[in-house]
Chain A
Amino acid sequence: MALVTTTKGEMDESLLEKKEGVVDNDSEYTTWVEYWLDGELVHRSAHVQLKKAVVLSAEAASFN
C-alpha cells in the first residue's frame, strides 16, 4: 500500500486518480505527477532538470 501526501492528509494511492506528464525541450526535462480525488487536485509534484547552463564569455584585450 503506497501512501500519498495530499491536501487531505496521507491517502492510499489506490483511492486516487493518478496523472503524469513529461516536458522535454531544449531548456528542460520536466516530469510531474498529480493525484485527483473526486475531481479535486489533492497532490502535485514536479521535477525540473535544467538543460541550459549560464555561460559568461570572458575576454582580455591584446596590445598588438
Chain B
Amino acid sequence: MCTSFMNELMTATHNFTTGTGNTFKAALYLTTATQNAATTAYSSTGEVSGTGYSAGGVTVTNGTSPLSTNTSSTAGTAYWTPSASITYTAVTLPTAFDAVLIYNSSASNKAVSVHTFGSQTITAGTFTLTMPANSTTTALLRLATT
C-alpha cells in the first residue's frame, strides 16, 4: 500500500463509494520502473507502452463500496476490491512489465497501491488481472485492527 495513501485516508482524499465516489485507474509498469510504497501519484515514467495501451491505463470497475466487519469488541477489518478483473484487451506490450499501480484519477492521480507479479509481455493478446474474493481475509485492500 502506498504510504501517502494511508495519510490521505485521514484527510478524506479518497472516496471508494460505488457510483458517487471517485474514479480509480490501473496503470502497468515496466520491470525497470520503481513503483513501491513510496509512490505518491501516477506517473508516465516507466509505464508500459505499446499497441492498444493508453497512457494511464484502464478504469477500475467499482461495483461494491467498501465494507467492514467487526471480529471482536476491539478489532475489525474494512476492505475493498474492484468488482471485476482489470483487463487490457488487444494489446502488444513488448517490454517486460511486473507491476500495476492503482490510483485515484479524480484526486490528482494520487496513488493507492502497487501490486507486483511475475514479469510478463503481451503480443497481440490480452492481459488480465483477476481480483481476489472481496472478504475480510482476501480483499485487495484491507485496513485491519487487531
A-side residues, CB < 8 A to B, are 5-7, 23, 27-28, 30, 32-34, 41-60
Secondary structure class of chain B's binding surface, majority of residues: strand
Query: Which residues of the other chain, A, contact B117 by a CB distance below 8 angstroms?
Result: 27-28, 30, 48, 50
Kindly list the 7 A-B residue pairs having the minimum CB-CB distance in the complex, ordered from nearest: A45-B125, A44-B123, A49-B130, A54-B1, A47-B128, A56-B143, A55-B142
Known: A5-B90, A30-B118. A51 touches B123 (CB 8 A): no
Number of residues on chain B facing chain A (CB within 8 A): 31
CA distance A32 to B119 in the complex (A): 12
B33 in contact (CB, < 8 A): no
Query: Which residues of the other chain, B, contact A58 by a CB distance below 8 angstroms?
Result: 143-145
B55 in contact (CB, < 8 A): no
CB distance from A57 to the nearest CB of B (A): 6
Stretch at the interface among B13-21, B38-46, B58-66, B131-139: B131-139
Q: Select B120's contact among A6, A46, A49, beta carbons within 8 Å.
A: A46
Query: Which residues of the other chain, A, contact B115 by a CB distance below 8 angstroms?
Result: 50, 52, 54
Do B123 and A43 touch across chains, with their CB atoms under 8 A apart? yes
Query: Which residues of the other chain, B, contact A48 by a CB distance below 8 angstroms?
Result: 117-118, 120, 127-130
Do A43 and B116 touch across chains, with their CB atoms under 8 A apart? no
- Contacts A/B (CB < 8 Å), 13 sampled: A5-B124, A28-B117, A30-B117, A30-B118, A44-B125, A46-B125, A50-B140, A54-B115, A54-B142, A56-B143, A57-B144, A58-B143, A59-B145
